[in-house]
Structure 1
Amino acid sequence: MTVEHLPTIEQLPKTEFIDYARPMKVIVIGAGISGILAAIRFPQRIPNLDLVVYDKNPEVGGTWFENRYPGVACDVPAHVYQASFEPNPNWSQFYASGQEILEYWKGIAEKYDVRRYMKLSHKVVEAKFNEKESKWHVAVENCRTQEVLHDTCDVLYACIGALNDWKWPEIPGLADFKGKLLHSAVWDNDWRPDNLSVAVIGSGSSAIQIVPAIQRRVKHLDNYVRGQTWIAPPWAADEVRKHTSSGSNFKFTPEELKEFNAQPEKLLDYRKKLESEVQSMSKILLRGELAEKTAATFTEHMKSKLSNKPEILDKIKPSFAPGCRRITPGPGYLEALAEDNVSFVSDPISRITEEGIITTDGTHRKVDAIVCATGFDTSFSQRFPIRGRGGLDLGARWQDYPDTYISLSTNGAPNLFFAHGPSSGIGVGSLVIILERTCDYVSKMISKMQADRIAMVEPKQDACDAFREYCGSYFRKTVFSLPCRSWYKRGTEDGPVTALWPGSSLHFLKVLEKPRFEDYEYTYLGGNDMAWIGNGFTLSEVDSKIDKASYLDPEEIDYPAV
């Protein structure tokens, strides 16, 4: 080719310029908090983005849409459980109800116009990675028509959470019961407990909220408790009392809410003090003297609430330190147990009959309804098939241990990231800011794929192995590894801790600040490791609308001190 026939710079393909951001298709699974955050941040930070968010539910909100049982509420202060960029001065109470939280996140979805990216009532049923194409092939069922559609993407972001796959308890005779059978995760809103005899099975966070919510309405309530649990005093109680005059129920008066609206700086000060107190609690999760002091404090709190039925304390008070199982303040739960129309049943259930429940001591308690507040499958392996490189069945591999690299990704499944997946839960602290920073981290990984022309990215196996080893080492010195049955350990008493982050929530934030790109392995487009460098030119040289001297803008200059 002669010089005369070489293309001019204007004729070069734009895709070959160093600062061209190649188009990226991203599929997000789930329109809960993480999915809403992704739908806000990804378009804001990733150019040339094609985004779709699938969710099996007909509405956004995830767990706050699905959980509609009586008393459902946040068990951390409402002002701690909100987006950093969207403060809400109008929470009606200290522990916001599930409906109020749902309306808050629906409002955010509307404000930032993210429904345009969402396909609700669409359930992902399979995801397979195609190595030749470097793409995920995703099968999605339309929940209204049962039609299965197929989609592809460069990056798959799984925002399906840890407590999403509910299950019935394995109790003989459960299907034989002739009364009303309910599960906390799929509540029947038309059911009314008024003047009925009701059994509630469980003592986890759902049961702890359901019992006081229906206790005054039922004729009699039996709470079947297999394990033991700590009920904590309200989080940051002293701090909230400084801002509300309503006493022990921690409700804000209209005047107090009006003051928060009128003075954003006062609201910010209140939020920061609450968050600081909640964030400071991580130290109680280490074994030792402080954990013992915390147990003594919790014991006195529980004893005072159970003064009418002191015998319950010996049955419900754990032998393990607070935090081994999820800590919950459970407002009203102990008070409800102490009422005359409530029976606390610690004898194991033998079987269920057509009319009620038989315990191992032979007692048959007849009831009109049974509420199963018995939790979820927390194995991270039963949601839907995910197949990575070489047909890797991620669910099968995770059957024994869900190995990841810092909870976000795993070797063998390129271009796949998780929000609130294995090893990402927090014992205490602020979860929403973790979900925000996780979204930021994934944004940076996608941006790197764009800029560096990366076809496939996945954490190195050595990095995953090192993280697993670190988790084991960390948890051995914490209360989480004490013998107690917990969803943190996939329902076992002494198995490995698989659901929690190995550190404080502030520690997690630091880890998420800046990706360690060296912990990943990359496959580049066309197999060319230097594809990122482009054709020797920038887009500003062919587009007059782009400033060729932006490096002189004041915000681009790092002015040295004189």
Structure 2
Amino acid sequence: MTDQKEVFIIGGGVSGLGMAVQLRRRLGHQNFTIFEKSDNIGGTWWHNRYPACACDIPSHFYSYSFHLKPDWTTTYPGRDELHDYFMSVAEKYDVIRRCKFNQMCLRMIWNQSRSLWECTFQDTVTGELTIREAAVVVSAVGTLDRPYIPEIPGAALFKGAAFHSARWDSSVKMEGKKVVVMGNGASATQFVPKLVEEVGPKGQVTQLVKGAHWWIKRGNPRYSESFKLAMKYIPFAARIYRVFLAWELESTFYSFFMTPNGAAMRNKIREATAGYIEKEAPAEYRDILKPDYEPGCKRRVNTLDYLKKLHAPNMHLVKDRAIRINEHEIETESGQVYAADVIIYATGFLTQRWLFPMEVRGIDGKDLQAAWDLAGGAEAYKGTVITDFPNFFILYGPNAATGQHSVIFHSECQINYSCRLLRPILKQKAKSIMVKPEAQKRDLTWVHGKLQGLVFNSGCQSWWMDPVTKKNTFIYPDPMFKYWLRTIFPIWSDFDIAQDGRPAKTTASSRFISILLLTLLGAAAMLVMNLKVEHLATGSIANVFVPTRHSLVTWN
């Protein structure tokens, strides 16, 4: 083990844990360390503890392909069940003892002469700094883990409790309190109904929102015991079910195309959301709840009972913006004043501050953030590697997701792709691997060129876009099965692989073989998906996320 090169994984969430496991499974590599800034693994599912916190992707697909769980209790599991699942993965593959908790990476500098990354870490409890070296660094810091709290004049004067929903303060007793919630995204839609119940008849929940969403009505079916047994004992049943769920999620992407078929699918989304609002929301709030932008511009929001809960007498929804916070109240742009004992910020995350707070310097001291600023936003070859930054990999990287799919699926695509690229480094004698500038430029030109034909670039405002340059740094411009296909076989001629400080030779045949295999796989997959799209353009996709047709699924 001591002869193996060391790999640092920054972040112990879903992607970091998956990377650690696959280093062992795919490469037999044992010399790795996970550096996690908090005191446990799990990332999002460790930090988020707000009431009713749950996943909005079906459980059997929001899980690792190498660690299937046949006994999920419901279609959309809660936070505790999800975290228990990730802990079971860490325990099975003996990952915990390879973790260093309360460690935040502040700086990474590439030492070209030694082919090593020199990394500076800070203990988040004591503040102590340490410098460590590794041949390879994998960033798995994620993007939905750095809460954004708007700067509002007077916030420091507030006498009550104030916190972000991703850092929920469970010590605050809500009963009888006047609570102001800012924001109405996926998190708020989950916790507001529970919050209304917690404050009780003597309390009040006021929700300030700036916009609306394309709401999706969903239940949360419980899996029956017979279904669980089928998933466990019938050969390939769980994998076939995963393919079905992936198919359903994948089909949504075709509504993003600015084509007649795409427009027809978006119209059905409009009709479904409008009907849902008219049926379940109070008349006084319907205009506030109706979005004024194209379906697909933002991630759609699944809701179990949010619209119904707006009927509660102690619930008040208003389209307004806080402009000042006083000791016991909030002033809004419209001139209204709301009394407040508690303020909850459901205001999202710093999604465009990629890799924050890390400073990353590559060949000749090149600063990664400066390079991204010059480019108008974060970018990477296939969302994973960057020219001038050898032996550095980014999971959940730029333009590597569709926004309506399982984050675990596209993370696994990147993890497996990274393992393939790491084979010359960890299993052979190569010193470093780096994508060539022309290959990265070609890939990015294709990505952002194809994005022009999708709904995301139709004037959208969302956290997927850089707020200044309007560059889309998140979305992959094709269905995720195509991303999977494109990451199966590395095009080795796109990389410089150095052995003993000298570039290694690459062959033209490697590119030809990779393209040929991808073409054959892609043709088969496209045939199947095109049949699905023809059906979706004329049929209903209102229930695309709800796999309740299976006879072995029962409702609560």
The Cα of 1:168 is off from its aligned counterpart by 1.5
> Is the Cα contact below 8 Å between 1:41 and 1:440 reproduced in 2?
yes
CA offsets 1:27-62 (integer angstroms, 9 cap, x no match) = 111111111112111123335652111111111101
Residues 242-391 of structure 1 correspond to what in structure 2 (within 5 A)?
248-253=219-224, 257=228, 260-261=231-232, 263=234, 266-287=237-258, 288-306=263-281, 309-381=282-354, 382-391=356-365
Q: Secondary structure at the match of 1:24?
A: coil
Aligned match of 1:9? none
Q: How many residues align?
A: 496
Task: Select the residue among 112, 129, 133 that pairs with 2:93.
Answer: 112
The Cα of 1:403 is off from its aligned counterpart by 2.0
Is the alpha carbon distance of 1:528 and 1:269 closer, same or farther for their aligned partners in structure 2, counting shifts above 3 Å?
closer
CA offsets 1:332-357 (integer angstroms, 9 cap, x no match) = 12122232221111022221111121
User: Matched residues in 2 for 1:519 and 1:435: separation?
Assistant: 21
Letter in 2 for 1:277: E
Task: Select the residue among 169, 185, 189 that pairs with 1:188.
Answer: 169
Letter in 2 for 1:328: V
1:232 aligns with 2:203: no
> Is the Cα contact below 8 Å between 1:22 and 1:453 reproduced in 2?
no
Residues 89-168 of structure 1 correspond to what in structure 2 (within 5 A)?
89-168=70-149
Task: Select the residue among 429, 440, 444 that pairs with 1:464.
Answer: 440
Is the alpha carbon distance of 1:251 and 1:340 closer, same or farther for their aligned partners in structure 2, counting shifts above 3 Å?
farther
What's the Cα RMSD here?
2.3
The Cα of 1:261 is off from its aligned counterpart by 4.6
CA offsets 1:350-378 (integer angstroms, 9 cap, x no match) = 21111121112211010110100111111
* Greater displacement, 459-468 / 256-265: 256-265
The Cα of 1:510 is off from its aligned counterpart by 0.9
Is the alpha carbon distance of 1:333 and 1:442 closer, same or farther for their aligned partners in structure 2, counting shifts above 3 Å?
same
User: Matched residues in 2 for 1:531 and 1:507: separation?
Assistant: 25
Is the alpha carbon distance of 1:469 and 1:272 closer, same or farther for their aligned partners in structure 2, counting shifts above 3 Å?
closer
The Cα of 1:507 is off from its aligned counterpart by 1.3
> Is the Cα contact below 8 Å between 1:305 and 1:334 reproduced in 2?
yes
1:82 aligns with 2:63: yes
Aligned match of 1:197? 178
* Greater displacement, 274-283 / 519-528: 519-528
User: Matched residues in 2 for 1:22 and 1:112: separation?
Assistant: 21
Q: Which runs of 5+ in 1 are unaligned?
A: 1-20, 235-247, 533-562
Letter in 1 for 2:209: V
Letter in 2 for 1:196: K
> Is the Cα contact below 8 Å between 1:489 and 1:498 reproduced in 2?
yes
Q: Secondary structure at the match of 2:33?
A: strand
Q: Secondary structure at the match of 1:28?
A: strand
Aligned match of 2:207? 223
CA offsets 1:401-459 (integer angstroms, 9 cap, x no match) = 11211100111211100100211222222321221221111111111234663323221
Q: Secondary structure at the match of 2:431?
A: strand
User: Matched residues in 2 for 1:459 and 1:22: separation?
Assistant: 26
Aligned match of 1:62? 43
User: Matched residues in 1 for 2:326 and 2:27: separation?
Assistant: 57
User: Matched residues in 1 for 2:28 and 2:63: separation?
Assistant: 27
1:419 aligns with 2:395: yes
> Is the Cα contact below 8 Å between 1:357 and 1:365 reproduced in 2?
yes
1:523 aligns with 2:504: no
> Is the Cα contact below 8 Å between 2:328 and 2:340 reproduced in 1?
yes
> Is the Cα contact below 8 Å between 2:380 and 2:397 reproduced in 1?
no
Aligned match of 2:544? none
User: Matched residues in 2 for 1:136 and 1:44: separation?
Assistant: 24
Q: Secondary structure at the match of 1:409?
A: coil
> Is the Cα contact below 8 Å between 2:439 and 2:494 reproduced in 1?
yes
Letter in 1 for 2:249: V
The Cα of 1:182 is off from its aligned counterpart by 1.2
> Is the Cα contact below 8 Å between 1:430 and 1:505 reproduced in 2?
no
Aligned match of 2:524? none
Letter in 1 for 2:70: P
CA offsets 1:241-294 (integer angstroms, 9 cap, x no match) = xxxxxxx44233556545655656554444333232122221112232222222
Letter in 2 for 1:397: A
CA offsets 1:57-101 (integer angstroms, 9 cap, x no match) = 111101111111122111111122011122222222221111211
Is the alpha carbon distance of 1:265 and 1:383 closer, same or farther for their aligned partners in structure 2, counting shifts above 3 Å?
same
Q: Secondary structure at the match of 1:232?
A: strand
Task: Select the residue among 495, 500, 505 that pairs with 2:480.
Answer: 505
Q: Secondary structure at the match of 1:324?
A: coil
Give the fraction of aligned pairs with identical amino acids, expressed as a percent.
28
User: Matched residues in 2 for 1:81 and 1:270: separation?
Assistant: 12
Aligned match of 2:12? 31
User: Matched residues in 1 for 2:382 and 2:242: separation?
Assistant: 28
Letter in 2 for 1:488: W
> Is the Cα contact below 8 Å between 2:159 and 2:327 reproduced in 1?
yes
Is the alpha carbon distance of 1:289 and 1:55 closer, same or farther for their aligned partners in structure 2, counting shifts above 3 Å?
same
Q: Secondary structure at the match of 2:303?
A: coil
Flag as ranges the 4+ runs of structure 1 deviating above 3 A.
Answer: 252-272, 450-453, 528-532
Is the alpha carbon distance of 1:531 and 1:474 closer, same or farther for their aligned partners in structure 2, counting shifts above 3 Å?
closer
The Cα of 1:137 is off from its aligned counterpart by 0.4
Q: Which runs of 5+ in 2 are unaligned?
A: 508-556
> Is the Cα contact below 8 Å between 2:27 and 2:419 reproduced in 1?
yes
> Is the Cα contact below 8 Å between 2:216 and 2:303 reproduced in 1?
yes
Q: Secondary structure at the match of 1:136?
A: strand
Is the alpha carbon distance of 1:316 and 1:31 closer, same or farther for their aligned partners in structure 2, counting shifts above 3 Å?
same
> Is the Cα contact below 8 Å between 1:524 and 1:531 reproduced in 2?
no
Letter in 2 for 1:357: I
User: Matched residues in 2 for 1:337 and 1:470: separation?
Assistant: 44
* Greater displacement, 295-304 / 220-229: 295-304
Letter in 2 for 1:471: V
> Is the Cα contact below 8 Å between 1:352 and 1:358 reproduced in 2?
yes
CA offsets 1:536-561 (integer angstroms, 9 cap, x no match) = xxxxxxxxxxxxxxxxxxxxxxxxxx
Aligned match of 1:5? none
> Is the Cα contact below 8 Å between 1:358 and 1:364 reproduced in 2?
yes
Task: Select the residue among 473, 478, 483 that pairs with 2:454.
Answer: 478
Is the alpha carbon distance of 1:71 and 1:47 closer, same or farther for their aligned partners in structure 2, counting shifts above 3 Å?
closer
Is the alpha carbon distance of 1:176 and 1:528 closer, same or farther for their aligned partners in structure 2, counting shifts above 3 Å?
closer
Is the alpha carbon distance of 1:426 and 1:29 closer, same or farther for their aligned partners in structure 2, counting shifts above 3 Å?
same
Aligned match of 1:396? 370
Relative to the length of structure 2, the TM-score reads 0.84
User: Matched residues in 2 for 1:184 and 1:346: separation?
Assistant: 20
Q: Secondary structure at the match of 1:79?
A: coil
The Cα of 1:120 is off from its aligned counterpart by 1.7
User: Matched residues in 2 for 1:432 and 1:380: separation?
Assistant: 21
User: Matched residues in 1 for 2:506 and 2:107: separation?
Assistant: 32
Larger Rg: 1
